[in-house]
Amino acid sequence: MGMIKKTLFAGLFLCSASALGLSQAAGEEPIRIGVISSLSGPFAQLGEDSVDGVKIALEEVGYQIGGREIQLFIEDDGADPSTAIEKARALVNRDKVQLILGPLSGSAGQAVKDSADEWPNTTIVVAGAAAEDITMRGIKPNVFRTSYTGAQPTFPLGDYAYKQGYRNVAIVAEDYAFPYAQVGGFMSTFCSLGGKVPKKFWVPIGTSDFSSIFPQLSGVDAVFVALGGTDAVNFIQQMDGFGLIGKVKILGGTVTVDATQLASVGELLDGVVSASIMSGQIDTPAFKTLDEKFRSKRDRAPSLFTENYYRAAKWSLLALDNMGGKIEDQDTFRTKLQQTSFAAPASWVSFDQYHNVVTDVYLNQVKNVDGEWLNVPIRTYSTVGQFWNFDPKEYQAAPSYNRDLPACP
């Protein structure tokens, strides 16, 4: 999968109906599904995991639904918003896809959502991006999100941090929409209880040197880290180099302490508590099946993005199956999608009225289980929506989270 850097099609990711011994419904064209993910740059490994998730879901149905072949087209946006829009245009105009799964990065997802009016006959199922306003404000009829908002899992983490006795927490996060939401959710609950955030460090995606931050972490009870991919790995390794691992408590953002990072720096994250819609130990048949299938491919635990993209594909396939695969009827497809709920690997999922997932949230703790570093759930919050316990109208009327909002009183 490391070779995936550009548009991929046909031999690598297209399973034909003839090869599988399936018969194409007479006179019907194949169902065309596009995937946008981050297959290069700091999030490349996360992107490869996401493609695996889609492929596992399609393999389960033999790359066909309603007797129709499914063709898969894959694009790399490099986590860049402008590139994501270009890739969506290519998928719709060149490849004639009727469904797009993705993007992965928050800013890329926001950009595609903002441009969704350009593709009224294509449904976009945001499979990874967690920028809040994709489903928070300015809802688009052809955009659904099956992953989560950045704040959705971190609301309870703020509550947990305060109840652990933390009163001053520093923030280290990437400087774009998804971390704004992660930090926003954490601070909304932590600060409302009386906690303080005396320092915030916003860094560009792809930062390699965090050394200027570490001397400024004295005097805080913990640091909330909302970094992803190689950024997270570099930060943790350098924090260890400065002798701060074990001295400054770490609270983990959703992608910071994910299975992909644990494979690299799990030992350094021993005991760290994080918040996610995914965990490394979930006792359900759907999770065990995905875990087994992904391990057979990669010999490690599935990541958040494996589950998220698998979930998006599975959700779409269930809706399509419920209408005989007639994806050309986009209005009916969107209605069926909205009405579909099912047991995804991480939890039971459904949509709220704003096209955003309602899902379980886990507070996880990193533990060594039989020689493997895993996120083990220490508390589960069932059926969490994007507004937490806040009034939806008041929440939507408030400004979007950014570098400065919210601010502790």
Q: What angle do CA 134, 82, 182 make, to 5 degrees?
A: 40
Alpha-carbon gap, residue 325 to 65, rounded angstroms: 6
Alpha-carbon gap, residue 153 to 280, rounded angstroms: 16
> Is there a contact between 180 and 150 (Cβ–Cβ < 8 Å)?
yes
| Residue 408 pLDDT | 87
> Is there a contact between 290 and 56 (Cβ–Cβ < 8 Å)?
yes
Where the chain has pLDDT below 70, the residues are: 1-27, 409
**The architecture CATH gives domain 151-276+363-397:** 3-Layer(aba) Sandwich (3.40)
Domain regions of the chain by residue span = 31-148+284-355, 151-276+363-397
| Residue 28 pLDDT | 82
| Residue 353 pLDDT | 97
Pairing of strands 143-145, 357-369: unpaired
| Residue 4 pLDDT | 36
- Tell whether domain 31-148+284-355 is in CATH 3.40.50.2300: yes
**Read out DSSP for 121-178?**
TSEEEE-S---THHHHSS--TTEEESS--THHHHHHHHHHHHHTT--BEEEEEESSHH
* pTM score: 0.92
